[in-house]
């Protein structure tokens, strides 16, 4: 069974850092692009960042460029999101997501909650 | 940057009725890379449609997608009780891979 399990969320003060992890299982992790998508409380979905299967190509939404870094360890089947200089507006549930061969996101994790507050 | 605008914001319908959801892009979506997702309260989204009109695995045929260029439609032919949810479109042909703001389909 294909599974994505996020961890690392929590409460952090403005300006702080967190690292999210996403453990993948049930598929050949290195063969697929992965994304992080977030959802602020009561709001819609926002794509945050994506990384190619090899990890070479990375992409970000403008609002997180220079603050967030996406990476992956294909030997551990794990995706990461390093989040620095966190702001209140980064408060959201963060979903780890797998892209299918079509390019669309075909598998989602259950999400990890990040709260940025003093 | 492509902006996706979904309409209506809320659709109030009864079970058995037909639902038509719109997704309009600010510029042409490259390669027909347009997907639709369903999200229920407290759950992660689920892929319904990719490549404008291809149903994902396990998605019933009452869900269909159509459109091209900048105008896309998700149709639910006959609403079942489990179809009342929020629906999002997303373009994944260019960066940023934006989502629309969502359409809530609620029970009338």
- Sign of dihedral through CA atoms A92, A113, B42, B56? positive
Query: In Å, how far is B97's CA from the nearest CA of chain A?
Result: 6
Residues near A94 by beta carbon (within 8 Å), at least 6 away in sequence? A6, A9, A20, A36, A37, A38, A48, A81, A111, A112, A113, A114
List the 33-92 stretch of B: residues with Cβ below 8 A of A. 33, 35, 37, 39, 44-47, 50-51, 54, 56, 86, 88, 90, 92
**Interface residue A62 vs chain B (CB under 8 A):** yes
Q: Determine, for residues B37 and A45 on separate chains, whether the beta-carbon distance falls below 8 Å.
A: yes
Does the beta carbon of A113 lie under 8 angstroms from any beta carbon of chain B? Answer: no
What pLDDT sits at residue B31?
85
Tens of pLDDT, residues B2-53: 999 999 999 999 999 999 999 999 999 988 999 999 999 999 999 999 999 9
Q: From CA B20, how far away is CA A77, in angstroms rounded?
A: 39
Kindly list the residues from chain A whose CB atom is less than 8 angstroms away from the CB atom of residue B50: 100, 102-104, 106
Q: What is the mean pLDDT of residues A87-115?
A: 97
What is the distance of C-alpha B24 from the center of its chain? 11
pLDDT digits (tens, 9 = 90+) for A14-40: 999 999 999 999 999 999 999 999 999
Tokens standing for B101? 């703001």
Backbone φ and ψ of A62, nearest 5°: -55, -35
What is the model's pLDDT at position A104?
97
> Do the beta carbons of residue B58 and residue B29 sit within 8 Å?
no
Q: Residues 6 or more apart from A59 whose CB is under 8 A from it?
A: A49, A50, A51, B95, B96, B97
Mean pLDDT of A81-107: 97
């Amino acid at each position: 069974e294909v599974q994505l399990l996020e961890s690392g969320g929590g409460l952090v003060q403005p300006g702080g850092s967190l690292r999210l992890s996403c453990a993948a299982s049930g598929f050949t992790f290195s063969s697929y692009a992965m994304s992080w998508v977030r959802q602020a409380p009561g709001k819609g979905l926002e794509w945050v960042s994506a990384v190619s299967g090899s990890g070479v190509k990375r992409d970000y939404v403008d609002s997180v460029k220079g603050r967030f870094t996406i990476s992956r360890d294909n030997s551990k089947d794990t995706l990461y999101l390093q989040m620095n200089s966190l702001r209140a507006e980064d408060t959201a549930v963060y979903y780890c997501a797998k892209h299918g061969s079509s390019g669309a996101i075909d598998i989602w994790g259950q999400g990890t909650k990040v709260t940025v507050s003093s | 940057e492509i902006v996706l605008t979904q309409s209506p914001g809320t659709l109030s319908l009864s079970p058995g009725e037909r639902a038509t959801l719109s997704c309009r892009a600010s510029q042409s979506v490259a390669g027909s890379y347009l997907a639709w997702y369903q999200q229920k309260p407290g759950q992660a989204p689920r892929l319904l449609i990719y490549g404008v009109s291809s149903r994902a695995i396990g998605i019933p045929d009452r869900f269909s997608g159509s459109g091209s260029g900048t105008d896309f439609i998700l149709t639910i032919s006959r609403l079942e009780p489990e179809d009342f949810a929020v629906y999002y479109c997303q373009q994944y042909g260019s960066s940023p891979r934006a989502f629309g703001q969502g359409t809530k389909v609620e029970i009338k």
